[in-house]
Amino acid sequence: MSTLWHDVCGVDEIWPNTGVCARIDNRQIAIFRIDRADGATEIFAIDNHDPHSGANVLSRGIVGNLGARTVVASPIYKQHFDLATGDCLEEPSLPVRSYAAEINDGRVRVCV
């Protein structure tokens, strides 16, 4: 399987500190824009599928920090997923896949 960079949207099309869902290669990918206090903007991408509930809802979760980790809380059962790694903090045996993501010339790109 090859990996390709996909242009998703303009970074300004995602509200700060929220997520959106994009369909890329028949996968639902949750993409998060995090605006840091120092003015930097980061983009993260993980599977949108919540392994605990079986629903495609992670893009609708609440983002925040647990210690040094930037996480999203699933809107259904509230498990926390690390946006950088996809690890589930409460149940390490049920991670989600994470993807490389970047901002390039004001556009959000995800490598799938």
Q: Which domains does the chain have, with CATH numbers?
A: 5-111 (2.102.10.10)
Q: Are 9 and 107 in contact (CB under 8 A)?
A: yes
**Tens place of pLDDT per residue across the chain (112 aa):** 558 999 999 999 999 999 999 999 999 999 999 999 999 999 999 999 999 999 999 999 999 999 999 999 999 999 999 999 999 999 999 999 999 999 999 999 999 9
**What are the phi and psi torsion angles at 28 (to 5°)?**
-90, 120
pLDDT of residue 2: 58
Q: Find all residues with CB under 8 Å of 49, minimum gap 6, and list them.
A: 28, 55, 56, 58, 96
What is the per-residue pLDDT for 3?
Answer: 83
Predicted pLDDT at 110: 98
d(CA 40, CA 24): 26
